[in-house]
C-alpha cells in the first residue's frame, strides 16, 4: 500500500474502531485509521506514535460490547471479549492542557489483536527510546494547598500504571527529607526523580542531585569557575505548589495531568542552572529566578506572615512597595556573545526551540534524546579566559532580577523576561534603576498584566553568561551619583532617565534565590548550560484549527 509515495505498514484490515469500520496502518510515524466508506472520501485520523502512551487488551462491556456485537454480526465473525483492545494516547486541548485519550479497537481474531499489540509496542520502543522505566516520586504534602498526595493519587498514579512505569513513592514528613533521600539512597535503579510540589520542592531535588553528582565526581563546588558534571538522572515536577513557575515555563500550563503525561512519555528539555557563590563558597543552585532588592525584601518580609499561607506574598509585596527602597551596588556581567538571540526577541522559547537546540543539541522529541547530549565545553560555564569581556554598571537599584527562565506564571503572564530561554546558557539580567513608586507600580503591572516590563526607561536588560553583584556605600551625594550613573548610561548609549519622585536608599537587601533567602548581598553567579535534564516538552504553540490528530470517536 502506498500513500503519497511513502511505504506504509498495514496492520489491521476492516476492524471496528469506535463503532466504525476502519483499516489501520502505520504511515510516517503515525498510527493511522482510515474509515471505510462507500465512496472512500473520509480523511484518515492519526495518532503520532510518540503520543501513544500504552496499548492494552480489554474486556468489552456496556456500550462497547454492543458496538462490538453489532460489528461482528454485520461482518459474520465471532468476536470474543479478548479481541478488544484500547490504545491510550495524548491530545492537547485548546487551553494547552494534555488529555489522555482512549481508542477502542475490536479485532476479528485473537491472533490479530495480539499481533497488533506486539507490533505497536515494538514500534513505540523503537521510536521512543527514552521513556522512563523506574521513577522515584517525592511528594511534598505541605506545598501549595497541602494536597500533593491527593494530586498524585488522583491525576498521576494511574498514568504511570498504564505506561508500565514502575514508581517508588515517598511522602516527605519534614522539610529537607527529599534532599536527604537523594543524598543517601542508592539511586542506581532509577531513571529519574519526580517531585510532587512547588518550585521549592524541585529546587531541593535539583540541589541535592547536583551536590551528589559533583561530590561523586570529586569536584570542588566552592570554586565558581568549576565546570559542573551533568547528573545521569533526569528530574521532573508534578505541580502541587503555590506558584509553580518552573512547570509553567516548561510545559506552558500548570496541570498535573499534562506534566505526568510528558514525564511518562519521556519528553526531555535541557535546563540551565545557576551556581551562586559568596566569597568562594557555594550558596546554592538556582533554576528559575534570582532577585535582589524588591523581590528579596518581599520573600524576607513574607516570613513574618507565614501563618497567612500564599497570601503572605501579597501583603509583604504591598508593604515593601509602600517603602519604595533602593540599594547601592555594582553589577558586573559577562555579556552573551551570541547575537542571534536577545531579550528583545518577539519569538519566545517553545518546544523544539532552535536557540536551545543549537546550544545543547537536545531534542524535545523523545525519539532522538540520548544521555550524552553534545554540549560544547565552552558553553558549559564561563571561564577565566572571558575576564577581559566583563562589563559593569554602578548605581542605585530598586530591584536586580535575573531570569533564568521567562518566569511567567498564571499570576505573572508578562514574566520577568518573556524571551528568556530554557537552555541557552544565559540569564536575562534586569536592572530596575532607582525610581518613584508610580514608576515601580508600572513595572509591576506590566509583569502582572501581560505587558512588556522591559520597555520602560528606568529598566535595563542584558543577556549574560555570568554576573556578580557587590554592594557599595551610598558614598557621594545623590546628585553626584545620578550624574555618575547617567554619564555611564550616556557613554554606553543607553537611554538616560530622570526619576521624578525617587526611592529611599537603604544599606543592603537580600537575594531571593528561587524563593529561598540568601542574606549575603555580594554574590557571584555562573550559568551552566543545560546542566539538568527535565522531563517536559517545553511550551507548545497552539493551533486553533481542528487537527486530524485527535481522539477517534
- Catalytic positions are 199
C-alpha cell at 529: 548550560
Smallest gap, in angstroms, from Cβ of residue 373 to ligand ATP?
27
What are the start-end ranges of the E strands in 208-278?
A: 234-239, 268-277
134-139 and 166-171 beta bridge pairing: parallel
Asked if residue 411 binds ligand ATP (CB under 6 A), the reply is no
Positions 121 through 160 that interact with ligand ATP (CB under 6 A): 140-144
Best CA proximity match to 100, nearest among 45, 28, 149, 158 = 158
291 binds ligand ATP (CB under 6 A): no
Give the span between the Cα atoms of 527 and 381, in whole angstroms.
6
Exactly one of 41, 173, 374, 504 binds ligand ATP (CB under 6 A); which one? 173
**Choice between 148 and 360, CB closer to ligand ATP:** 148
Cβ neighbours around 38 below 10 Å, total: 5
Which of these segments, 76-84, 239-247, 250-258, 489-497, binds ligand ATP (CB under 6 A)?
A: 239-247
SS3 assignment, position 198: coil
State which residue, 54 or 404, has the beta carbon closest to ligand ATP.
Answer: 404
User: Which of 411, 404, 440, 446 has the alpha carbon at shortest distance from 290?
Assistant: 404
Among 198, 224, 266, 270, interactor with ligand ATP by CB under 6 A: 198
Least separation in angstroms between residue 367's CB and ligand ATP is 31
Over the Cα atoms of the chain, what is R_g?
Answer: 27
List all residues 6 or more positions away from 181 whose beta carbon is below 8 Å from its beta carbon. 136, 138, 170, 208
CB of 296 to ligand ATP, least distance (A): 16
> Which member of 30, 60, 172, 439 binds ligand ATP (CB under 6 A)?
172
State which residue, 198 or 453, has the beta carbon closest to ligand ATP.
198
**Out of 18, 197, 270, 364, which residue is the one contacting ligand ATP (CB under 6 A)?**
197
256 forms part of the interface with ligand ATP (CB under 6 A):
no
Name the helix (H) or strand (E) containing 476.
none
Which residues 6+ apart lie within 8 Å of 472 measured at CB? Answer: 328, 329, 330, 394
Residue 411 CB, nearest distance to ligand ATP (Å)? 10
For the chain, report the end-to-end CA distance as a whole number of angstroms: 25
**Can residue 515 be called a binding residue for ligand ATP (CB under 6 A)?**
yes
Closer residue to ligand ATP in complex, CB, 204/482: 204
Which residue from 18, 132, 192, 200 is in contact with ligand ATP, where contact means CB under 6 A? 200
The answer to whether residue 57 forms part of the interface with ligand ATP (CB under 6 A) is: no
Q: How many CB atoms lie within 10 A of CB 77?
A: 14
Q: Which of 420, 407, 403, 462 is nearest to 274 (CA)?
A: 403
Q: CB under 6 A: which stretch of 51-59, 199-207, 229-237, 375-383 binds ligand ATP? A: 199-207
Which residues of 18-51 form beta strands (DSSP E)? 20-27, 30-35, 45-48
Q: Exactly one of 243, 286, 485, 502 binds ligand ATP (CB under 6 A); which one?
A: 243
C-alpha cell at position 6: 511513502
Q: Which window, 58-66, 128-136, 171-179, 471-479, contacts ligand ATP (CB under 6 A)?
A: 171-179
CA distance 525 to 282: 10
3-state secondary structure 47-84: EEHHHEEEEEECCCCHHHHHHHHHHHHHHCCCCCHHHE
In whole angstroms, the minimum distance from the beta carbon of 144 to ligand ATP comes to 4
User: Given the complex with ligand ATP, which of 24 and 237 has the nearer CB atom?
Assistant: 237
The residue among 57 and 141 lying less far from ligand ATP, judged by its C-beta, is 141
- Closest distance to ligand ATP from the beta carbon of 277 (Å): 21
At closest approach, how far in Å is the CB of 517 from ligand ATP? 12
Q: Residue 410 and residue 248: Cα distance in Å, rounded?
A: 8
* Residue 30: burial class (beta carbons within 10 Å; 0-12, 13-18, 19+): buried
250 binds ligand ATP (CB under 6 A): no
Does position 174 interact with ligand ATP (CB under 6 A)? The reply is: yes
Cα 437 to Cα 252: distance, rounded to the nearest angstrom? 32
Smallest separation, CB 172 to ligand ATP (Å):
4
For ligand ATP, the closer CB: 61 or 147: 147
Binding pattern for the stretch 475-514 against ligand ATP, x by CB under 6 A and - elsewhere: ----------------------------------------
Q: Which part of the chain contacts ligand ATP (CB under 6 A), choosing from 57-65, 121-129, 192-200, 379-387?
A: 192-200
Contact between 199 and ligand ATP by CB under 6 A: the answer reads yes
- Between CA 404 and CA 289 the distance in angstroms is 6
Binding segment (CB under 6 A) for ligand ATP, from list 157-165, 191-199, 342-350, 530-538: 191-199
Number of residues that bind ligand ATP (CB under 6 A): 21
Task: Identify which of residues 142 and 357 has a Cβ nearer to ligand ATP in the complex.
Answer: 142
Q: Where are the beta strands (DSSP E) in 351-446?
A: 391-403, 427-433
Question: Site residues (CB under 6 A) for ligand ATP?
Answer: 140-144, 172-176, 197-201, 204, 241-244, 515
Amino acid at each position: 500500500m502506498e500513500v503519497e509515495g511513502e511505504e506504509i505498514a498495514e496492520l489491521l484490515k476492516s476492524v471496528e474502531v469506535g463503532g466504525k469500520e476502519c483499516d489501520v496502518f502505520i504511515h510516517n510515524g503515525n498510527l493511522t485509521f482510515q474509515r471505510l466508506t462507500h465512496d472512500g472520501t473520509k480523511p484518515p485520523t492519526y495518532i503520532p506514535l510518540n503520543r501513544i502512551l500504552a496499548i492494552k487488551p480489554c474486556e468489552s462491556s456496556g456500550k462497547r460490547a454492543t458496538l462490538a456485537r453489532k460489528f461482528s454480526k454485520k461482518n459474520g465473525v465471532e468476536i470474543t471479549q479478548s479481541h478488544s483492545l484500547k490504545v491510550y494516547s495524548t491530545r492537547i486541548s485548546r487551553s494547552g492542557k494534555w488529555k489522555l485519550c482512549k481508542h477502542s479497537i475490536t479485532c476479528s481474531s485473537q491472533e490479530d489483536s495480539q499481533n497488533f499489540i506486539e507490533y505497536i509496542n515494538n514500534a513505540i520502543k523503537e521510536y521512543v527510546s527514552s521513556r522512563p522505566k523506574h521513577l522515584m516520586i517525592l511528594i511534598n504534602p505541605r506545598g501549595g494547598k497541602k494536597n500533593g498526595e491527593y494530586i498524585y493519587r488522583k491525576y498521576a498514579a494511574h498514568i504511570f500504571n498504564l505506561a508500565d512505569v514502575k514508581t517508588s513513592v515517598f511522602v516527605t514528613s519534614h522539610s529537607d527529607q527529599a534532599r536527604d533521600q537523594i543524598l543517601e539512597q542508592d539511586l542506581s535503579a532509577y531513571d529519574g526523580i519526580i517531585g510532587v510540589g512547588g518550585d521549592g520542592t524541585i529546587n531541593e531535588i535539583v540541589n541535592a542531585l547536583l551536590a551528589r553528582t559533583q561530590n561523586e565526581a570529586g569536584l570542588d563546588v566552592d570554586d565558581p569557575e568549576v565546570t559542573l558534571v551533568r547528573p545521569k538522572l533526569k528530574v521532573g515536577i508534578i505541580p502541587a505548589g503555590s506558584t509553580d513557575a518552573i512547570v509553567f515555563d516548561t510545559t506552558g500550563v500548570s496541570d498535573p495531568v499534562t506534566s505526568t503525561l510528558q514525564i511518562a512519555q519521556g519528553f526531555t528539555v535541557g535546563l540551565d542552572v545557576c551556581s551562586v557563590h559568596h566569597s568562594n563558597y557555594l550558596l546554592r543552585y538556582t533554576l528559575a529566578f534570582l532577585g535582589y532588592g524588591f523581590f528579596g525584601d518581599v520573600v524576607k518580609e513574607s516570613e513574618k506572615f507565614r501563618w497567612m499561607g500564599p497570601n503572605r506574598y501579597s501583603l509583604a509585596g504591598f508593604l515593601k512597595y509602600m517603602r519604595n527602597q533602593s540599594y547601592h551596588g555594582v553589577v558586573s556581567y559577562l555579556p552573551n556573545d551570541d547575537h542571534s538571540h536577545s531579550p528583545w526577541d518577539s519569538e519566545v522559547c517553545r518546544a523544539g526551540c532552535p536557540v536551545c537546540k543549537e546550544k545543547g543539541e537536545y531534542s524535545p522529541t523523545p525519539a532522538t534524546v540520548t544521555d550524552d547530549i553534545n554540549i560544547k565545553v565552552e558553553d558549559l560555564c564561563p571561564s577565566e579566559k572571558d575576564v577581559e569581556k566583563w562589563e559593569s554598571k554602578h548605581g542605585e537599584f530598586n530591584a536586580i532580577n535575573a531570569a533564568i527562565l521567562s518566569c511567567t506564571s498564571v499570576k505573572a503572564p508578562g514574566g520577568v523576561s518573556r524571551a528568556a530561554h530554557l537552555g541557552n546558557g544565559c540569564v536575562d539580567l534586569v536592572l530596575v534603576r532607582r525610581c518613584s513608586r508610580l514608576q515601580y507600580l508600572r513595572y509591576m503591572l506590566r509583569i502582572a498584566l501581560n505587558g512588556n516590563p522591559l520597555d520602560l526607561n528606568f529598566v535595563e536588560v542584558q543577556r549574560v553568561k555570568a554576573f556578580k553583584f557587590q554592594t557599595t556605600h551610598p558614598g557621594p551625594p545623590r546628585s553626584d551619583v545620578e550624574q555618575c550613573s547617567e554619564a555611564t548610561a550616556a557613554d554606553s548609549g543607553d537611554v538616560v532617565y530622570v526619576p521624578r519622585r525617587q526611592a529611599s536608599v537603604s544599606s543592603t537587601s537580600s537575594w531571593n534565590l528561587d524563593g529561598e533567602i540568601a542574606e549575603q548581598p555580594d554574590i557571584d553567579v555562573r550559568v551552566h548550560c543545560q546542566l539538568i535534564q527535565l522531563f517536559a516538552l517545553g511550551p507548545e504553540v497552539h493551533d486553533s484549527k481542528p487537527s486530524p490528530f485527535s481522539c477517534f470517536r
